[in-house]
Structure 1
Amino acid sequence: MSGGYISKITFNNNQSVEINANDIVVFVGANNVGKSQTLKDIYKLCDRKVPTMVVEDIDIVKYDVDLDKFLPTISHIKNMGAYKEFSGMGFYFNSYSVQDYAKEKRYGQIRDIFVAYLDTMNRLSICNPPELISRNAEKRHPIHYAAFNGKYRIWLSENFKKAFGKDLIPFTQNGSNIPLCIGDVVKFDTEFDDEQLRQEAYSEILETYKQVQDQGDGIKSFTGILLYLMLDYYSTFLIDEPESFLHPPQANIMGRIIGETLQADQQAFISTHSEEIIKGLLEVCPDRIKIVRIKREGDYNSISVLDNEKFSEIWNDPLLKYSNIMTSLFHKEVMLCESDSDCKMYSVIEHHLKYKVGKYSETLFIHCGGKHRMAKIASALRSLDIDVKLIPDLDVLNDECIFKGIATSFDVDWESIKKDYNIIASNLHSSKEAVDKNKLLGMVSQIVNESENPNLSLKEINTIKAELKTESKWEALKRNGITALPSGDATVAFQRLDQVLRNAGIFIVPVGELECFVKQVGGHGPDWVNKVLETYPDLDNEVYDEIKKFITQVCCEHL
């Protein structure tokens, strides 16, 4: 059953987000930007229009619901003569409120039968055992459903077992209340003379099991979310930091469970700091996810939305799917690099520079697995208003298609830089980029004919090798950096181009590639980084001067 859905959220800066009836909206952002407050505001505004902090207002589409049939199934009803009082899990209202529901734009005082607000306190407290009721009485607590309906009990136990490896069993024979027991499903190999004896033996076993309300906050928080999700009459779930108290694998499982459980007429709004929650959701329902990143700007909040199409573009790339791309949603600044070794070395230097001025790093370094993925990732992250900078090697200029994609992903007008790019590219062509077959054949024939020795000498072999060897000015450029650019037009064109790129957030490595910053150590990749740090453990050593100068330019706003 669904009472309706939230169709639009308007924030305090007048930005708005359209919401579908089955959307799972995930609020992300750095610390203290208003993610949790957004959920509180939405919850309040579902009742009535009141002063709020982050969300200015919401629109609700309400369905025509037969409350006369529905309310007796979840409420204790008290007849007061002229009116009736309804009370149940988290709600209390009278029949006048029911009448108002049909006339008002919002849910009013009956909000809590349609909207579940799962903050930390609610999740922990819902695990306390409810009072024992008769099987056919109105169910005023989620555990009542699990205790007297096999569908709910099995669902609850199976999903709990995914994270903790044990079943969850309602202990209906406990006495005055119904706790949830943690353990294996009880199965008897022996026969009993009567059912009473079997139930007594069953109760004795459950009495030895641990109970949820006595466990740590991780188990209670996880169970609390399950207990709410289990109730299919809610239209909207507001879940604040579902990863709280959970290890990353459990958070991933929770994301999956939320995505698998929500029906087509249910929506959820989630605030989170966890990439695992997001990954879990994306594994099972990527088409329902809407990422809303919140930023605080003084007294106002700004938002940016990553739609399903852009998220799918990243998620369908296997290398990116299992990277730490999602972590960028929770950082103030992101640096995109070509490789993991680039990330490691640049992040070490950036952390050191900030430490020297009494600051902590809030920058995330992400490797893109090569230049060809950089534009795709940059576009997605920039659409969420994340402060993104990109550090490609100098030979990024060697492929016009890739370079153009990167430039345009940072909103650089290609036509404004095309002329300078062509000047650079045309000056880097070499006559030795290819081997002339006729010239090679003539040279080899001459060597063979002039020598009476049946075997080629070392000198002759080297002469042939030299003719076969090609030399690209691009390779020299990557080895030696911008100093290898031809003097004149090419150098001037690069200076103009580089300034435009830096203003946009693209910082080409001026020495060619990472390894050229510290030429005192040979090698390449992760082994080179490790060897450099082992050989020169003091980051104030002068060998790091060039790379520190470069990273200072990249991070100038934050140093």
Structure 2
Amino acid sequence: MVPEMQPRIREIHLTTPGQKVATSRNVTLIVGPNNAGKSALLYGILHEMQRIEGQQGPDHPIVDSLEVEMPSKEDLREFFAERSEIYPPGTYRNTFYQETTYVVQNGTPLQESVIDQASNMTNRFGPNISSSLIAIIGPEGRGAGLSSRQAPDLMNNQAPQAPLDFLWADRDLEEKMNGHMHTAFGENIVVNRHAGPNVHLHVGRVETPEPRIGDRSPYMAELMALPLFNEQGAGMQAFMGTVATLSTDRRTILLFDEPEAFLHPPQARLLGTLMVQLARETKTQVIASTHSDDLVRGVLDGAKTESEVTLARITRPSHEKNRIAQVTPSTIKDMYSDPLLRFSKILDGIFYKGVVLCEAEMDCTYYSAVLQHVEETKELAASDLLFTHSSGKDRLERSFSALHAASVPVAVIADVDLLADSAKFRSIYEAMGGEWTVIEAQFNVLEASISSLKRWPSRTEARENLQKILGVDGNETLTASELRSIREAVRVETGWKLIKKRGRSGVDSGDPTIAFDKILTECYKCGLFVLEVGELERFHPEVGGTKQTWLRLVLEGGLYRTSDAAQKLLLRVRRFIEGLQ
């Protein structure tokens, strides 16, 4: 029975004043953009844990101090007793212990006096006990614990150390690991206990029943013919190595650096689910840095309660500073519950410095191309922004709110007809921090002016357009395309449609133009970039065709490099997001 009270990390204080990570007792995920300090944070935890109380040492660039939760002297002894071999004072084969000694999984002998001393610590474990309580597992070599090795020497009191030792000694555990292997890869594993002093792990299944060790049987030939686990791909070794470590390691805190490395999305998601389940079963505190949306989803899928998981987003506004945004699991779960958000790339925004939210995918393609060109020509550092879309104006607010709740800096780029529906425009404007009273009077002026621009088609225009449409095909029945063309030919052209085609130049001069400029200026302040030119295609009005054709021609012809208006817009967007980081 694992004691309830165990050594834990309660808070991680960063060198940036006021910035800290409040951890969960089960799984804490560290997310954020590249080079923000996710991995460094983990190694900083280990660095701080191993410091000697009161002794000065080299400072870590990210982690300043820790708050740890240590059990009482009696509870800490019970904790080590449950996961160690205990030796009272005396002489043993090849060794002598002066006081009661606990030999932990990694073979380190801990004297009772050292354990008692550790129970008084509040901000680190110290070098004598850290290796028995905390470990860091990097992306490389996670399957090493399942590689072929010698069986534990029980005559010399050698306890199991590597995960394979535990599988060798526990057939129930072997069967459980086999289940995880089959779920993840559709394969089986089997421990080879018939190879003399060595233990091997094979991939596959043996049909012949296993005999007693020493009895001759076709089982051995079948088993030896199976491939070894340590000869399999990096993904399989990484997945099973991580699961086996979570299942067998007796240290109370495990730090995983990018556990999703080498894994395909389904395996990354399954690993996340198993990570929180195994942490719950073994009462292990897991702190993991990740850049995988699939791992995050898996962890949330596996959590039974909100307290089991916390997510901290780390960013680096400058080389000297880091910033932490603590995100509740319910916020992320709410994002995943929305089908549009779940199946788009919007949620990937938590792994970027910021998000530029657009109406459609083609908008994202154009704007990202323009920004990349600007950064290259002006020799600016890559901004690491995610361009993603909300599949139309109606979902802009929902998408923004989801990312904002996860503390992701967001800018929105929208065509000018976002203003055509005053209720929707006001809703997203206020959601992004704008105050309606600041622009209400100007909006009323602009709306009245643009409403007066409504244009009905003349009989002459309608007759000419219909003759063109009906004269193309001699078939008696109209096609769907012709019906759409006819409807378009007699459609009333609203003022907003005209403004979308002409942009600011289509707005009446005087008060309406002043109102238009005021509204756009206030929108820019909160990150809502309504296009002054009207719509995306107006950055290159000389190019015609459908939007898809327009984009292809603009990209293939390199025209995206020539629009000053587009470049100024993207630089403005970039500066806005930088100001939020």
Counterpart for residue 21 of structure 2:
17
- What is residue 469 of structure 2 aligned with on the other side? none
Q: Deviations over 1:318-353 (max 9, x none)?
A: 011121123323333421101111111222222233
Question: Aligned residue for 2:298?
Answer: 280
The alpha-carbon distance between structure 1 residues 81 and 548, as it changes in their structure 2 partners (threshold 3 A), is closer
Alpha-carbon spacing, 1:272–1:391, altered in 2? closer, same or farther (3 Å): same
* Alignment partners' CA distance in 1, 2:216 and 2:522: 78
1:467 Cα offset (Å): 13
Cα contact 1:314–1:376 (8 A) shared by 2 = no
Match of 1:519 in 2: 541
Please, which of 305, 311, 315 is the counterpart of residue 291 of structure 1? 311
- Give yes or no for the alignment of 1:155 onto 2:183: no
CA positional deviation for 1:121:
5.3
In 1, Cα distance between equivalents of 2:454 and 2:553? 34
Q: Does 1:258 align with 2:280?
A: no
> Could you list the per-position Cα deviations for residues 146-175 of structure 1 after superposition, in whole angstroms to 9, with x for gaps in the alignment?
222233212222223333332222222222
Aligned partners of 1:18, 1:556: CA distance in 2, in Å? 30
Q: 2:525 aligns with which of 503, 513, 531?
A: 503
How does 1:111-190 map onto structure 2 within 5 Å? 111-120=130-139, 123-133=142-152, 138-183=159-204, 185-188=205-208
Matched, 1:34 2:37: yes
User: Can you list the C-alpha shifts for 1:258-306, whole angstroms capped at 9, x where unaligned?
Assistant: 2343317443211122233223323433944433222233323221222
1:467-506 Cα deviation digits (max 9, x unpaired)? 9854422222223222222322221012112122223322
Superposition pairs of residues 385-400 of structure 1, within 5 angstroms: 386-400=408-422
**How far apart in 2 are the matches of 1:524 and 1:302?**
44
* Partner residue in 2 for 1:538: 558
Gaps of 5+ in 2: 91-95, 457-486
Residues 1:150 and 1:402: Cα distance change in structure 2 (over 3 Å): farther
- Aligned-partner Cα distance in 2 for 1:423–1:77: 86
Match in the other structure for 1:61 = 69
Q: Deviations over 1:444-463 (max 9, x none)?
A: xxxxxxxxxxxxxxxxxxxx
Could you report, residue by residue, the CA deviation over 1:201-232 in whole angstroms, capped at 9, with x for unpaired residues? 32322222222334444333323211211137
Give secondary structure in 1 for the equivalent of 2:198.
coil
Name the CA distance, whole Å, in 2 between partners of 1:128 and 1:268. Answer: 24
1:27 to 1:52, Cα distance in 2 relative to 1, 3 A: same
CA 1:110–1:325: 2 relative to 1, 3 Å: same
Cα distance in 1, alignment partners of residues 256 and 533 from structure 2: 49
Please give the secondary structure, in 1, of the residue aligned with 2:529.
Answer: coil
Q: Render the CA deviation track for 1:370-413: whole Å, top value 9, x for unaligned.
A: 22332343344345554432101111112333323332343333
> What is the TM-score with the length of structure 1 in the denominator?
0.82
- In the alignment, what sits opposite 2:447? 425
1:71 to 77, 81, 84: 81
Q: Is the 8 A contact 1:76 1:87 kept in 2?
A: yes
Of the three residues 7, 11, 27, the one matched with 2:10 is 7
Is the CA contact (8 Å cut-off) linking 1:392 and 1:509 kept in structure 2?
yes
Q: Does 1:410 align with 2:432?
A: yes
Distance apart, 1:367 and its partner CA: 0.6
2:484 is matched with which residue? none
Query: For 2:406 and 2:363, how far apart are their aligned partners in 1?
Result: 24
Show the counterpart of 1:454: none
Q: Would you say the 8 A contact 1:91–1:110 is kept in 2? A: no
Structure 1 residues 267 and 398, CA gap change in structure 2 (3 angstroms):
farther
Mark the CA change 1:424 to 1:307 in structure 2 (over 3 Å): closer, same or farther. farther
The equivalences for 1:346-365 within 5 A come to 346-358=367-379, 360=382, 362-365=384-387
The one-letter code sitting in structure 1 at the alignment partner of 2:185 is F
Residue 445 of structure 1 is matched in structure 2 by none
Rate the CA distance shift 1:432–1:508 in 2: closer, same or farther, 3 A: closer
Distance 2:503 2:243 in 1: 57
1:236-247 maps to which residues of 2 (within 5 A)? Answer: 236-247=253-264
Matched-pair contact (CA < 8 Å) for 1:430–1:471: no
**Cα gap change, 1:398 to 1:199, in 2 (>3 Å):** farther
1: distance between equivalents of 2:135 and 2:427?
A: 44
Judged with a 3 Å threshold, the aligned counterparts in structure 2 of structure 1 residues 131 and 521 are, in CA distance, closer, same or farther, namely same
What is the rounded CA distance, in whole Å, between the counterparts of 1:47 and 1:355 in structure 2? 44
| C-alpha distance in 2 between matches for 1:248 and 1:545 | 40
Letter in 2 for 1:19: T
How far apart in 2 are the matches of 1:88 and 1:8? 26
Q: Following the alignment from structure 2 to structure 1, what is the Cα–Cα distance between the partners of residues 143 and 202? A: 16
Q: Does 1:367 align with 2:385?
A: no
- Secondary structure at the counterpart of residue 364 of structure 1: strand
Equivalent residue runs for 1:186-335 within 5 Å:
186-188=206-208, 195=212, 200-231=217-248, 233-263=250-280, 265-285=283-303, 287=306, 288-296=308-316, 297-335=318-356
Between 1:75-84 and 1:98-107, the stretch displaced more is 75-84
Matched position secondary structure for 1:123 = coil
Identify the match of residue 83 of structure 1 among 89, 99, 102. 99
Q: 2: distance between equivalents of 1:60 and 1:175?
A: 45
Task: Report the Cα distance in structure 1 between the residues aligned to 2:256 and 2:532, rounded to whole angstroms.
Answer: 47
Between 545-554 and 503-512, report the one with greater CA deviation.
Answer: 545-554
Whether the aligned pair in 2 keeps the contact of 1:375 and 1:406 (CA below 8 Å) is yes
The separation in 1 between residues aligned to 2:454 and 2:519, in whole angstroms, is 27
Indicate if the aligned counterparts of 1:259 and 1:284 stay in contact, CA closer than 8 A. Answer: yes
Is 1:551 the equivalent of 2:559? no
My pick for the range that moved more, 388-397 or 210-219, is: 210-219
Determine helix, strand or coil for the equivalent of 1:210.
coil
Structure 2 CA distance for partners of 1:75 and 1:316, relative to 1, 3 Å: same
1:366 Cα offset (Å): 0.7
Structure 1 counterpart of 2:145, one-letter code:
I
Mapped partners of 1:58, 1:111: distance in 2: 13
- Per-residue deviation at 1:196? 6.0
Residue-pair matches, total: 523
Q: In structure 2, do the counterparts of structure 1 residues 467 and 275 end up closer, same or farther at CA, with 3 Å as the change threshold?
A: closer
Contact 1:135 1:148 (8 Å CA) reproduced: no
